[in-house]
Amino acid sequence: MAQQVVWGDAPLRWQDVVAVARHGALLALSDTAWRRIGQAREIVDNIVATGHIAYGINTGLGALCNITLSDDELSTLSRNTLMSHACGVGPLLSEEQTRAILCAAIANYSQGKSGISPAVVEGLLVLLNRRITPQVPSQGSVGYLTHMAHIGLALIGIGSVHYCGETVPAHQALELEGASICRLGAKDGLSLVNGTPCMTGLSCLALDDAWRLMDWADVTGAMSFEALRGQLDAFDEDVLALKASPGIQRVGQRLRQLLRNSQILAAGKGIRTQDALSLRSMPQIHGACRDQMRHAEQQIEIELNAATDNPLVLGSPESWRVVSQANPHGESVAMAADLLAMALAEMGSVAERRLDRLINPLVSGLPAFLVAKPGVNSGMMIAQYVAASLCGENRQLAQPAVLDNFVTSALQEDHLSMGTSAALKLLKLSGNLWQILAIEYLLAAQALDFHGGEQSGEGTRRAWALLREAVATWEDDRWLAPEIAKAVSVMQAEMVEP
């Protein structure tokens, strides 16, 4: 039976989004959350019944906020909001990306400040838990609106979804699951497209990648350090303690444990006064990236636990307020995603410098390009080219999205976060980093073969042996692309703990 995650009575964690979106856990809301949602909806129903004018409930949207609507127009407004806002373009989001956005949207509504119909939230849970995944174009968001509009269309049976391994019409998948098409009411359409669930859900996936990538960077970096016979004094615990960075202390501890009892390092002790910065500064570089990731994690979880609709419905059915404000502006998530992109780009950059040293006999003391018979064999020469290319692309992707700004909605929305763009490029960047670290993994393992992999440290020896179960030692040139893919698969399936 699939794991179940229940939200509503405690702070939400990004790991829960990953469990549902990426690993198939079921999502449910607590009774308390449903009461909050129901109470907010009662306020909306009272506003409609009394004719009180409130933006987004019985008015037009954006620059049309001064146009009031009659009761019989409100359902049409919600439907039309989805139809007009579902204008995304470009490649489709992956299934897990769309599911992560769904999770973050449900988290937003669980705060009970949106006023959305409980039936709509139930419909979103059906899409998620029955794996009816709307097909959502990836491009077209300045922070919100388009992606959730495409998801909302599936609730009313419009558009295509991924279901049981096929692409089918949304209404067909709902019918096969015995689920009803949602009837939208006042504010439902606006609540569906508003807020920051897109950038927040995608950023949760990026955090999952980032933590695993940073752990693997310590492993592949330790293997390269060992193969190049680095000097362990640079990782001395007393020295690293002189910088009060939690990340530096953590990386230093991991490197010392990974390299514990290395016969290779013992034999090379004192062969040079100091190593190149790409080797001896791993605690400082990796550690700084970990510190930035902690900050990004905090900002993303704050947003995951926030009410990000506009307007917000506050108070009780007896004493309420409807407040137009700017909680849908995702500046903090956009900045966090941009910061994390810079950190991951740096991890890839220093890994590429390490693996370049492995193939250069002038500094490695190893055969050129890590093959015993260079000349007739090119060995790992071009793998470094690939890593360099990916690093170049990552430098482009690490440029901040949040600094780009435009004016939309006839001057009504004149400063935008671009948070969804930040999260999407972060995910692409992390995909590149998996490839860069896989190349370092391959090259470092090959380099350790020349020293005798069994002579490695306690942790690096486990990592070397794990790869050798999938990829044989390189003796003569063979097709390298599948080997890189195998290394990525090993890394994504396993973790080598010190």
How many Cβ atoms are within 10 Å of 231's Cβ, its own excluded?
18
Gap between the Cα atoms of 398 and 433, Å rounded: 12
- The strand order across the sheet containing 160-163 reads 133-134, 160-163, 166-169
Residue 100 tokens read as 């992560």
Q: Which residues is 26 bridged to in the sheet?
A: 4
Gap between the Cα atoms of 229 and 448, Å rounded: 10
How many Cβ atoms are within 10 Å of 137's Cβ, its own excluded?
17
- Helix (H/G/I), strand (E/B), else coil: 166: strand
HEC letters along 19-67: HHHCCCCEEEECHHHHHHHHHHHHHHHHHHHHCCCCCCCCECCHHHCCC
Residue 366 tokens read as 């190893």
Are 288 and 15 contacting, i.e. CB atoms less than 8 angstroms apart? no
Residue 429 tokens read as 């960047």
237 burial (CB, 10 Å; 0-12 / 13-18 / 19+) is exposed
Residue count of the chain = 498
Q: Is 55 a catalytic residue?
A: yes
Gap between the Cα atoms of 139 and 446, Å rounded: 41
Gap between the Cα atoms of 285 and 279, Å rounded: 10
How many Cβ atoms are within 10 Å of 171's Cβ, its own excluded?
15
Are 51 and 27 contacting, i.e. CB atoms less than 8 angstroms apart? no
Gap between the Cα atoms of 220 and 490, Å rounded: 13
Gap between the Cα atoms of 152 and 199, Å rounded: 17
Backbone angles phi, psi at 132, to 5 degrees: -100, 95
Place of tokens 């049309």: 64
How many Cβ atoms are within 10 Å of 133's Cβ, its own excluded?
25
Helix runs in 144-281, H state only: 146-155, 170-176, 188-193, 197-227, 237-240, 246-258, 263-267, 277-280
How many Cβ atoms are within 10 Å of 448's Cβ, its own excluded?
27
Gap between the Cα atoms of 147 and 321, Å rounded: 29
Residues annotated as catalytic are: 55
